Chain A
Amino acid sequence: MTLDELPLGTPARIVSANWDALVPEEAQRLKALGIEEGAEVRLAYRGVFLARDPIAVEIGRMTVALRRVHARAMQVELLTVLAA
């Protein structure tokens, strides 16, 4: 599953990213924001009206807006939330 297909609000981990599919500056910006392999993320918002673009991802205590094309380059796995 890719990051853009993640159901809203479900915690997940980025397992791999196809950096070559992205513009170098954008890939670098994503990495600088910590959106890279191993990061735990949650899809918080998706699109306006019926559009599915852009999306907002929660990572740590940050919310980052990005486009679907960026999210599509990220493979994610669902995290099972352990009851605390």
Chain B
Amino acid sequence: MTRQTMVAALVGNPNAGKSALFNALTGARQKIANYPGVTVERKSGRMLLPSGEPVELVDLPGSYSLNPSSPDEEVTRDVILGRMAGQTQPDVLVIVLDASNLEQHLVFAQEIIELGRPVVIALNMVDLAERDGLVIDPTALASALGVPVFPTVAVRRRGLAELTAAVAALRDRPLDAEPVHRPHVTAPERRMLARQIARAAILSETAQHRIHAQLDRVLLHPWLGPPVLLVLLFVVFQAVFSWAEPLKNVLDAGFTALGDGTRSALPASLLRDFLTDGVIAGVGSVVVFLPQILILFFFILTMEATGYMARAAFLMDRAMAGVGLSGRSFIPLLSSFACAVPGIMATRSITDPKDRLTTILIAPLMTCSARLPVYTVIIAAFVPNRQVLPGVGQQGLVLLGLYVLGVLGAMGAALLLRRTVTKGAASGFIMEMPKYQLPTVKDLALGLWQRAYVFLRRAGTMIFGVTVVLWLLLNFPRAENPQDQVNTSVAGHIANGLAVVIEPIGFNRDIALALIPAMAAREVAVSALATTYAVGTSDDAAQGRALGDQLKSHWSLATALAFLAWFVFAPQCMSTIAVTRRETNGWTWPAFMLAYLFGLAYAAAGITYWIAVTCGLG
């Protein structure tokens, strides 16, 4: 009989240090996916037993009990009880306990031990407990609970060999024909027992001033906390904008060079155009987001690993509660000012599913960096460079106005969504504040690698598909005269139909034609308009100026303002759509997002246009 690969699962409260232990036990051999039908992340990896035999180790979402109060906890319960479709019931459960918070963590641990499954306990973060002046006796704990206990320090790999050996031993132990019947106790009894067991296991406890209490005194201070957060966020944003830019340019140049190389290496043909203009340019336009994603996630992962993220959520909760969200939505939304893609990916830290969905849906309304090229070209062409006040220019004010409009739109949308499609009572904010810790380089690197991989692979395949479709639309059927290609193409015909629809909001057919390729990414609108008005220069700045002159002669001011209002709302970014599909596990919500944001964009552009015309700017 061939024995199947054994499955073990890590289970425990949130903040028990499960992820660090998981990373230490599996190394880089990890797989991340979603559980079928839900958006809960499934993390599994290969752990080696002392014999060299591989074991599949699953990192279950942190839970407080088998009586679930969130989708995460439901997954944990279903996997443990062997009720999760597509997941074999774990042969061994490794309960992870925070050594310095036994009173709390032993409650859930008892509930799992009562199930009678093979169990081993990792008494984790014993170093942090000792830092807090707490020494625990693992043997006392083991005899009180009736299961083996091993002290571990994941980040220093302490106790890992003993732990895997214990897992192997449990596997070789024949399962009792009759599961051991443990006394079933009620939740309050479990809590009382937890307190007793914890007290009995504590060898010594000195009333040291805990480091985290001292840090919190500043970081959660009602007047000092917010400015500290503000300074930190300023640094993050500065980094995302200024560090990412050169890397983005290098990637951009790389893809341009690759396209040029391919162009000169292959004979002129449709296939060549497809490879250069379709595949390379399309995939390139997405991959250039990677530096921003990595830099932003470096900070987000650091904030999470240190424990500061929970404090930021605490500080921002009051403000977010105003629109029906909680403090946890703050960081994802803020990240979306750089780019909605990492912002939406960052919503994974929001535990409430309704809150998370609302945050995903409004994230594209935060003015991302891809809108800036569009905004700057139009503003430079149509808004006079006048000083309104000393040091305050009219152009800057319009740009600021567009940012404010996006934020107001997001707040309005959140309020409405929370009362309609994402209606649900639980948007409360109940959150354990984890202890402060130093992040480890290895965990950070692993997290960054996983985010990059997920973005490139999952979003990449879909984005590649959309790019190909867009290219086909723009290049078929073929025109006799290359100059007429766009007009002859399917896209040209779509633009004809689209022009009728968007005429009432002041858009002409040239705009319709630019909006189609701009579905790939907003900034494509600029180069598409440049193509339409045949602006023949590759120098960005010169192109912007020349395009501005062309636009001024073809568009009225009302049209230009309507065009700006359109881009505040329009969800013209296939990376965002792709990542929304991935994060919401289906097409329903990306379709909803497209519909409501295009609706808003249409209304905003229309209102802007008609007000402007009424004011005599038509």
Residues of A within 8 A of B (CB): 23, 25-26, 28-34, 36, 38, 44-51, 53-54, 56, 60-67, 69-70
B431 contact from A23, A25, A65, Cβ within 8 A: A65
Q: Is the CB of A61 within 8 A of B103?
A: yes
* Residue B249 interfacial (CB < 8 Å): no
Q: Is the CB of B220 within 8 A of A60?
A: no
Q: Which 9 A-B pairs have the closest CB atoms?
A: A32-B64, A63-B433, A28-B69, A23-B425, A25-B69, A51-B318, A45-B220, A26-B428, A65-B431
Known contacts being A28-B67, A44-B216, A45-B216, is A70 close to B428, with CB within 8 Å?
A: yes
How many Å from the CB of B152 to the closest CB on chain A? 19
How many Å from the CB of A67 to the closest CB on chain B? 5
Known contacts being A29-B64, A33-B104, A54-B317, is A48 close to B431, with CB within 8 Å?
A: no
Q: How many A-B residue pairs have CB under 8 A?
A: 108
B430 contact from A44, A60, A61, A65, Cβ within 8 A: A65
Q: Is the CB of B64 within 8 A of A60?
A: no
Closest to B427 in A: A23
Which residues of the partner chain B approach A51 to less than 8 Å between Cβ atoms? 318
Taken together as a complex, chains A and B put the C-alpha atoms of A66 and B321 apart, in Å, by 12
Interface residues on B, range: 35 or more
Q: Is the CB of A56 within 8 A of B314?
A: yes
Q: Is the CB of B321 within 8 A of A67?
A: yes
Which residues of the partner chain B approach A64 to less than 8 Å between Cβ atoms? 430-433
Among B3-11, B221-229, B364-372, B506-514, the one that faces the other chain is B221-229
Taken together as a complex, chains A and B put the C-alpha atoms of A64 and B321 apart, in Å, by 18
How many Å from the CB of B215 to the closest CB on chain A? 11
* Cross-chain pairs A/B with CB under 8 angstroms, 12 sampled: A26-B430, A32-B64, A34-B104, A45-B222, A48-B222, A50-B222, A54-B327, A62-B432, A63-B432, A64-B431, A65-B310, A69-B428
Q: Is the CB of A32 within 8 A of B220?
A: no
How many Å from the CB of A66 to the closest CB on chain B? 5
A65 contact from B70, B187, B313, B425, Cβ within 8 A: B313
* Residue B132 interfacial (CB < 8 Å): yes
Taken together as a complex, chains A and B put the C-alpha atoms of A51 and B320 apart, in Å, by 13
Taken together as a complex, chains A and B put the C-alpha atoms of A51 and B316 apart, in Å, by 11
Taken together as a complex, chains A and B put the C-alpha atoms of A63 and B431 apart, in Å, by 9
* Residue B65 interfacial (CB < 8 Å): yes
Q: Is the CB of A48 within 8 A of B426?
A: no
Which residues of the partner chain B approach A47 to less than 8 Å between Cβ atoms? 222, 318
Which residues of the partner chain A approach B104 to less than 8 Å between Cβ atoms? 33-34, 60-62
Q: Is the CB of B428 within 8 A of A53?
A: no
B317 contact from A28, A31, A61, A67, Cβ within 8 A: A67
* Residue B315 interfacial (CB < 8 Å): yes
How many Å from the CB of A30 to the closest CB on chain B? 6
Taken together as a complex, chains A and B put the C-alpha atoms of A63 and B226 apart, in Å, by 19
